[in-house]
Structure 1
Amino acid sequence: MTNTNKQWLGLPLNLLWGYIAIAVFMTGDGFELAFLSHYITGLGFTPAEASFAFTLYGLAAALSAWISGVVAEIITPQKTMFIGFVMWAVFHVLFLVFGLGHANYALILLFYGIRGFAYPLFLYSFIVIIIHNVKSDSSSSALGWYWAVYSIGIGVAGSYIPSFTIPLMGELGTLWTALAFCVAGGLIAMVSLRNVNTPTRMHNLTTREKFSELSRAVTLLYTNKNILCSSIVRIINTLSLFGFAVIMPMMFVDKLGFTTSEWLQVWAVFFFTTIFSNIFWGIVSEKMGWMKVVRWFGCIGMALSSLAFYYIPLWAGHNFAMALIPAISLGIFVAAFVPMAAVFPALEPHHTGAAISVYNLSAGLSNFLAPAIAVVLLPWFDTLGVVIAYTALYLIAFVICHFIDVEQPGFERKARYADDGALKVS
């Protein structure tokens, strides 16, 4: 299942080009984030119609993320990545030509929604490859690198490159450029990963058995309490990340006097920080312990950072340097949840695909629930109420972590009784 290929700071060198493929592909996938909603409204559609297109996209992506782990184990991760890559390219072209090109709202929804289903098949199948090609006691650092290259692609390059291409070729031209990046990333993956180890246990299953395994991505939530608790913690993990992207521009720009560019620069610093913190916590958690890092640095760190993101700018006013402090803090501690990607398959070693699918579903639900909480609370309790809600949920996650019983390689607890009958743990 695993091998002992060389690593550099936790990066499995045999999968290096796979990581590069993820970064390149997600760069193209991230091009549209900063301007597509504005472009759609510019075609004559309402903000509500533009928002619904993104909602449909998010729902399709969450569904795809949910099944991607199991599908990757059933038909191999490489085939799943290939399907996702081709679907993305085909429906991106259809989206640009017939959806945006003809300002056809029905086709925008159809093609953009299907494209939303495509990218998680490519993105999350690589997690299955990591789990099956890296020693279990090194999986956390390998997954830290995975989220680092994800941040480089969608959060840094995906936002930075369009700032140059839009003035040169416009928004539609930039969307066509995104296709080139995604095709390049897909081709790199297909070539570099064709000979890596892949799970074979499910290849000979009957169709009925394969559907049974697919349903396990649902049943694990109520048959394994550790998976359920881990799912809740993973959902809470990125609430501030997705929620602050919605509520903080209103506070920074409308109340504190920051320009939109200044706010975007603050948020870019947050994403840039996660590149290094993902790698850092992935390595540290293997030495300190997965759940200890998640509980004390992830949960507590994010609770304090969330409060700081509100109170420090409120106290300092329009002060760009002071605003960077909570942004950097948030970027450091949100990555302390990286070990959760290793916890899920460790809790279900015989059904790793299903476990990874639950992890992916939890990530998608976090993306959905974070703005939903803000929508419900903002009219009644303003920005502070949303921040306190997120903070409280991180503290709840701190408590839930205590009940997650996972055996981390190299951290088996050995209990023995001393002569006086007192229990000692060594």
Structure 2
Amino acid sequence: MQTSNQKQFLGLPLILIWGYIAVAIFMTGDGIEQAFLSKYIKILGFTSSNATNVLTVYGFVVAIASWLSGVLAEVFSPRRIMTIAFIMWIVFHVGFLTLGLAQHSYPLMLIMYGIRGLAYPMFIYSFVVWITISAPRHKLASAMGWFWAMYSIGIGVIGTYLPSFTIPFIGYMGTLWSSILFIFIGGMLAMFLVKDKKGATSDSKNMSKTEILREFVKGVTILKNPQIVIASLIRIINQLALFGLVAFMPAVFTDQFGYSMSEWLRIWGLMYIITIFTNLLWGLVGDKIGWKRQVRWFGCMGMAVSTLAFYYLPLWSGPQFWSALIAAILFGFAVAAFVPMTAVFPTLEPEQKGAAISIHNLSAGLSNFIGPLIATVSLQIGDAEFAIWVYTAIYIIGFILTFFMKVKQPKEIYQKGE
């Protein structure tokens, strides 16, 4: 149990502040290409299917790495895994640019970008384990809210807005090369400036190979807990539209709705600006009103409505910034309302936090994989409008699932002194 005198600022554990900053900077580098890569691959002469396949393969690898990261961090220490991750990211990003994109090699694009997908979840989800080790349990949603706020600042705000200014001057490839600087800085901060020793130590030196293997097996056997399975499904549903819309909406906004690429990037970036504040807001609110209630009404139903708004408001109004602004605000509020899910997993299995976080991370990674996959399949069956309705239906399913999720709420945890 964490000591009550740990210094905090609105639920932020100050001892980890440089880690939070590292996440923001790292995700800036990782997120630079997310809102334009599918469009750029098409510009190089590949099909829409080729573009979504690259993102789908990447998402599949992200899912695997997300699952492994929680147990890896618990066994070998969060700091060590974060260090390995940022080095791996740089190596395979260079391979993706030089061997894949520059050579117009579709197989090497799939391979290099796919393997690069191992790195970002290992970096950020190892830090999630670090947070669960250091933050008081009754304040865990607030601490996670700060984590997702830093994530949004990086991947969404700076990572999305920056290309809208750099692409006109240094082009798509120059922008992709610039991401390495952010990854390097974020990695160095995590290596040297986070002072909390809990994330720098591990039990691996005292563990046999069998014991280490047993820890990895826990990342699967923990699924015997039906509540973990339900929580996992809800967490997968959480970001399906977030990762899925970028696979086809850049083309829809530019080719169908009449926006420019820079306008699309700024709209998507605006949504992430909203999530900076809503991640913090929902982290604090969730600790007050209850995690399930928030996820059910503001998360699942909010995303069902806002996903529809992201398509229909610009469709009805034409390329008017105000309509996209409303859609971005609604989307930013709704997608962040799932923040307490990060706290739900270790609360359901307090004696197996690493394994529980691994399933959370796997679920987040599967969201990264299934989101673009839904787009790929939906666009083969119907059009963009059909795909939007598929995402909406899935969020309604998530709404129903929340009625079956049973987890101690923050007030219960606090009253028991956990």
Query: What TM-score does the superposition give when structure 2 sets the normalisation length?
Result: 0.89
> Is the Cα contact below 8 Å between 2:39 and 2:251 reproduced in 1?
no
2:210 is aligned with 1:211: no
| Offset of residue 126 of structure 1 | 0.3
SS at match of 1:5: coil
| Offset of residue 330 of structure 1 | 1.1
CA RMSD of aligned residues (A): 2.7
Amino acid paired to 1:362: S
Residue in structure 1 matched with residue 292 of structure 2 by the alignment: 291
| Offset of residue 53 of structure 1 | 3.7
Residue in structure 2 matched with residue 421 of structure 1 by the alignment: none
Amino acid paired to 2:29: G
| Offset of residue 251 of structure 1 | 4.7
More deviation, 140-149/28-37: 28-37
Q: Higher relative CO (CA 8 A, sep ≥ 6), structure 1 or 2?
A: 2
Amino acid paired to 2:207: L
Compare CA radii of gyration and give the structure with the larger one.
1
Query: Which whole-Å CA distance do the structure 1 matches of 2:196 and 2:76 have between them?
Result: 15
1:65-214 paired onto structure 2 within 5 Å: 65-100=66-101, 106-193=107-194, 195-198=196-199, 200=202, 204-214=206-216
Amino acid paired to 2:30: D
| Offset of residue 70 of structure 1 | 0.5
Change (3 A) 1:139 1:190: same
Aligned residues: 413
SS at match of 1:128: helix
Query: Which whole-Å CA distance do the structure 2 matches of 1:413 and 1:24 have between them?
Result: 33
Query: Which whole-Å CA distance do the structure 2 matches of 1:249 and 1:106 have between them?
Result: 24
Query: What TM-score does the superposition give when structure 1 sets the normalisation length?
Result: 0.87
Change (3 A) 1:163 1:208: same
| Offset of residue 98 of structure 1 | 4.7
Residue in structure 2 matched with residue 354 of structure 1 by the alignment: 355
| Offset of residue 325 of structure 1 | 1.3
Change (3 A) 1:200 1:408: farther
> Is the Cα contact below 8 Å between 1:7 and 1:13 reproduced in 2?
yes
| Offset of residue 279 of structure 1 | 0.7
Change (3 A) 1:259 1:91: closer
More deviation, 385-394/129-138: 385-394
Residue in structure 1 matched with residue 234 of structure 2 by the alignment: 233
Gaps of 5+ in 2: none
1:313-332 paired onto structure 2 within 5 Å: 313-332=314-333
| Offset of residue 400 of structure 1 | 1.3
1:298-377 paired onto structure 2 within 5 Å: 298-377=299-378
Change (3 A) 1:164 1:321: closer
Q: What per-residue deviation string (whole Å, max 9, x for no partner) do you get for residues 260-285 of structure 1?
A: 44333322221211111011000111
Query: Which whole-Å CA distance do the structure 1 matches of 2:244 and 2:171 have between them?
Result: 29
> Is the Cα contact below 8 Å between 2:75 and 2:212 reproduced in 1?
yes
Gaps of 5+ in 1: 415-426
| Offset of residue 297 of structure 1 | 1.4
> Is the Cα contact below 8 Å between 1:238 and 1:334 reproduced in 2?
yes
Q: What per-residue deviation string (whole Å, max 9, x for no partner) do you get for residues 42-79 of structure 1?
A: 66666655554433322222211110000100111111
| Offset of residue 338 of structure 1 | 0.4
Change (3 A) 1:73 1:170: same
Query: Which whole-Å CA distance do the structure 1 matches of 2:311 and 2:108 have between them?
Result: 40
More deviation, 198-207/11-20: 198-207
Task: State, as a whole percentage, how many aligned pairs show the same letter.
Answer: 51
Q: What per-residue deviation string (whole Å, max 9, x for no partner) do you get for residues 231-255 of structure 1?
A: 1111111122223333444554444
